[in-house]
């Protein structure tokens, strides 16, 4: 377990602060044990008192979230009631805040932030990457791009916390550049790739083909397909996305 914890934090690529054992923390914990104050009121939990003292010292730098299943830190030994009132009184005069959560899953839920993908930026990046295929096909069939009518996407976490994976689909209305009377033209695009939230950039985009639908003057339906094939371990025409560990994000 001692090895697994550092490995976990290293894999997440997050900043880690080492808090060395101090005489001040030991003195604070010993006093709580003697006075039977939380978190050492039920038994002689010296280490719990040290952890609490370290949390208070960290409050000088930032807000603190303590993830622990030890009910000694909770009011009336109940997770739902949050931090012990006695412990709350110790920090109520401080500018920073501290709270307790019983599990890592609860922490992840609390840290969730909405991930917004700009459809205009995604469309621009995709068209720029595959302009020869997309615009070339439209030009050969006498169409030009119009307004986008829809864009849907799904975002996934990857093994790299700075990179997300997304798959997407969009529909773009098209205009009959030849004036042949073709109407209701729409280009359907599908693809996937990487998204970097910090820079809002798209990388390693893949095109899973283009499907153009339209209506002829006589009412019949016309369509054009341009497929792209991705084989196992080999990609025909485009780069392969490197991120393979994916977890769907709501």
**Residue with tokens 């997300």, as numbered in its chain:** 164
3-state secondary structure 38-86: CCCCCCCCHHHHHHHHHHHHHCCCCCEEEECCCHHHEHHHCHHHCECHH
Q: Give pLDDT tens digits along the chain (250 positions).
A: 556 556 656 655 667 788 888 888 888 888 888 888 888 877 767 899 999 999 999 999 999 999 999 999 999 999 999 999 999 999 998 989 999 999 877 876 776 677 889 999 999 999 999 999 999 989 999 999 999 999 999 999 887 878 999 999 999 999 999 999 999 999 999 999 999 998 999 999 999 989 999 999 999 999 998 865 554 444 433 444 444 556 677 6
CA distances from 215 to 21, 141, 234 (A): 75, 13, 36
| Residue 155 · residue 194 · CB < 8 Å | no
Indicate if the alpha-carbon torsion angle 69, 65, 13, 205 is positive or negative.
Answer: positive
* Distance separating alpha carbons of residues 220 and 27, to the nearest angstrom: 86
Cα dist. 177→136, 182, 185, 211 in Å?
A: 13, 9, 11, 18
Name the residue among 187, 185, 206 with its Cα closest to residue 195.
Answer: 206
Looking only at the bridges linking them, the beta strands covering 64-67 and 98-101 are parallel
Return the CA Rg of the chain.
28
C-alpha to C-alpha distance for 139 and 143, rounded to whole angstroms:
6
Residue among 28, 5, 27, 4 nearest 18 (CA)? 5
Continuous H helices in 148-232: none
Contact 246, 157 (CB under 8 A): yes
């Amino acid at each position: 377990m001692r090895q697994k914890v550092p490995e976990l934090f290293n894999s997440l690529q997050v900043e880690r602060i080492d808090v060395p054992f101090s005489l001040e923390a030991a003195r604070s914990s010993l006093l709580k044990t003697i006075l039977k104050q939380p978190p050492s009121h039920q038994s002689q939990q010296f280490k719990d008192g040290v952890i609490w003292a370290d949390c208070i010292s960290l409050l000088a730098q930032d807000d603190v979230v303590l993830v622990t299943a030890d009910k000694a830190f909770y009011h009336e030994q109940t997770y739902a009631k949050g931090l012990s009132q006695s412990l709350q009184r110790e920090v109520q005069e401080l500018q920073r805040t501290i709270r307790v959560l019983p599990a890592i899953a609860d922490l992840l839920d609390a840290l969730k932030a909405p991930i917004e993908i700009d459809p205009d930026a995604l469309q621009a990046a995709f068209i720029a990457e595959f302009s020869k295929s997309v615009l070339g096909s439209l030009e050969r069939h006498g169409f030009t791009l119009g307004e986008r009518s829809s864009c849907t996407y799904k975002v996934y976490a990857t093994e790299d916390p700075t990179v997300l994976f997304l798959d997407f689909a969009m529909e773009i209305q098209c205009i009959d550049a030849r004036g042949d009377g073709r109407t209701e033209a729409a280009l359907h695009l599908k693809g996937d790739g990487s998204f970097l939230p910090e820079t809002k950039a798209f990388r390693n985009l893949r095109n899973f083909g283009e499907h153009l639908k339209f209506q002829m003057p006589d009412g019949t339906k016309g369509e054009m397909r341009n497929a792209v094939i991705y084989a196992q371990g080999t990609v025909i025409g485009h780069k392969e996305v490197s991120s393979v560990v994916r977890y769907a994000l709501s």
